[in-house]
Each structure stands twice: as C-alpha cells, then as structure tokens.
C-alpha cells in the first residue's frame, strides 16, 4: 500500500540538466578542454564534488582540494545565475497536478534531492508548499546511491520504506531507492532505467490513479 511518494528534483520536477551542462561546459572550456552532452549524462544524480571529479578526469587535470572547492564554487555561481531566472513555468508538465492529486488522496510527499540548490529551485517554481518533507544536499552526508536521502525522507514522514514510492531519472537514484528497500518509478529511458518497477516519460499522462493501480 502506498502511503508516501518521494521525488528526486533535477530531471523529475524540473529540467535543470541543461543548466548544469552549460555551467560545467563553461568551466571545462576555461580549463582548456571540451565537455560534451554525452559526458554530462555521467553527472546526473551525482553530487557536485563528485561531478567535478568526473569533469577533471575527462580533462585529465589534477587539483588540490582547496582549488577544487574554488572550481566547484565558480561553476555553482554560474549555475545559480541560470536557476535564478526560473519561474513556475519551468516545472515539468503534469508535476504540479500529480502532487496536488497525492495530497487529495492523503498520500504524503517528500523531496529527496542531492542538490544544495533545492531550496532556491523550489522557491523559484513555487512548489515548496506541496511537499510534506524536504531532504536535500544540505541535510545529507552520503550521496546517492547511498539510501540516506530517501530513508531520511521516509523517517520524516513517518512511513515505512516499503510503503514509499520513489520517482527518479538517474541510475544512481534508482540504486539509492533499491538500497532503501523502496519501490521506484523511472522518468526517462527504459533501457537506461531498467532498475525501476516501471518507466514513464513524465507526469503528463500518468496520474495518481495510474500509480495506485500499478501497485495494487
């Protein structure tokens, strides 16, 4: 029985991958190497510092921890300048009505995101009030695929992991859901997200009744 839904943010609620991409690409170019959209796929669901490590591995560059902090800060400033321009229109189609539908059925909701920018994004798109609990990159110590982000969300909601459903667009996120012992639905490509119970393109043609029916 479903008592709660836990949502990843980037790629599930909003499409921020393109902002991450142009910000990381700009840093790579400053450092003198190319960073492609295909490379960017490797950063989905991955924490900021781990993303930088992958980027530097592609550029075959080595920096000290302090220098890496500065590089990550530079990327983040650029990324924030993009997300500051976001409006409620940047919410992915069907998301707001899906969240409202859950609340009407008494199903609780939590955000489970790796991003430290989650509070700013939620403020810009005006959806913060539709979540009963928020767990993000500021409140966790282990990144996905560690289950911490989802276990913490379930705990805050007072719901057992097996009664939660996770919505995720990244493989690392689905692994985190599985590690938490939670059912999960992928958003995106079924070939890539084969760990999920079901994969949907988005919430446009998937309502709360479809969710309940699928798990009954």
Residues tagged active-site = 8, 10
Q: Closest CB to Mg ion among 72 and 92? A: 92
Strand, coil or helix: what is 206?
Answer: coil
Peptide bond into 188 cis (omega under 30): no
CA torsion angle for 173, 213, 152, 118 (degrees, to 10)?
A: 60
Note whether 176 binds ligand BG6 by CB under 6 A.
no
Judge contact between 149 and 47, C-beta under 8 A: no
Note whether 10 binds ligand BG6 by CB under 6 A.
yes
The span of 84-92, 139-147, 167-175, 207-215 binding Mg ion (CB under 5 A) equals: 167-175
Note whether 169 binds Mg ion by CB under 5 A.
yes
Note whether 193 binds ligand BG6 by CB under 6 A.
no
Q: How far is the CB of 31 from ligand BG6 (least distance, A)?
A: 18
112 bridge partner residues: 135
Give which of Mg ion, ligand BG6, none residue 43 binds (C-beta under 5 to 8 Å, depending on kind).
Answer: ligand BG6
117-146: contacts with Mg ion (CB under 5 A): none
Q: Which residues contact 158 (CB under 8 A, 6 or more apart)?
A: none
Q: What are phi and psi of 195, to 5 degrees?
A: -80, -15
Strand, coil or helix: what is 187?
Answer: strand
Note whether 9 binds ligand BG6 by CB under 6 A.
yes
Note whether 20 binds ligand BG6 by CB under 6 A.
yes
How many whole angstroms separate alpha carbon 67 and alpha carbon 82?
23
178-197: contacts with Mg ion (CB under 5 A): none
Q: Closest CB to Mg ion among 9 and 208? A: 9
**Residue 120, both tokens:** 């700013």
The span of 64-72, 92-100, 131-139, 169-177 binding Mg ion (CB under 5 A) equals: 169-177
Return residues touching Mg ion (CB under 5 A): 8, 10-11, 45, 169-170
């Amino acid at each position: 029985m479903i008592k709660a839904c836990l949502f990843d943010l980037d790629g599930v609620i909003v499409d921020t991958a393109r902002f991450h991409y142009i910000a990381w690409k700009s840093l790579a170019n400053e450092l003198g190497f190319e960073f492609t959209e295909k490379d960017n796929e490797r950063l989905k669901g991955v924490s900021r510092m781990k993303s930088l490590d992958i980027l530097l591995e592609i550029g075959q560059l080595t920096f000290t921890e302090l220098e890496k902090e500065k590089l990550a800060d530079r990327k983040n400033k650029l990324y924030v300048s993009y997300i500051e321009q976001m409006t409620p229109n940047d919410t992915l189609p069907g998301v707001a009505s899906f969240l409202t539908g859950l609340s009407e059925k008494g199903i609780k909701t939590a955000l489970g995101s790796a991003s430290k920018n989650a509070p700013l994004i939620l403020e810009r798109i005006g959806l913060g009030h539709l979540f009963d609990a928020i767990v993000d990159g500021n409140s966790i110590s282990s990144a996905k695929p560690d289950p911490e982000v989802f276990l913490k969300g379930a705990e805050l909601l007072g719901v057992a992991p097996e009664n939660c459903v996770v919505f995720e667009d990244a493989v690392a996120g689905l692994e985190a859901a599985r590690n938490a012992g939670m059912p999960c639905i992928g958003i995106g490509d079924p070939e890539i997200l084969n760990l999920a119970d079901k994969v949907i393109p988005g919430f446009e043609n998937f309502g709360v009744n479809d969710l309940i029916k699928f798990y009954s």
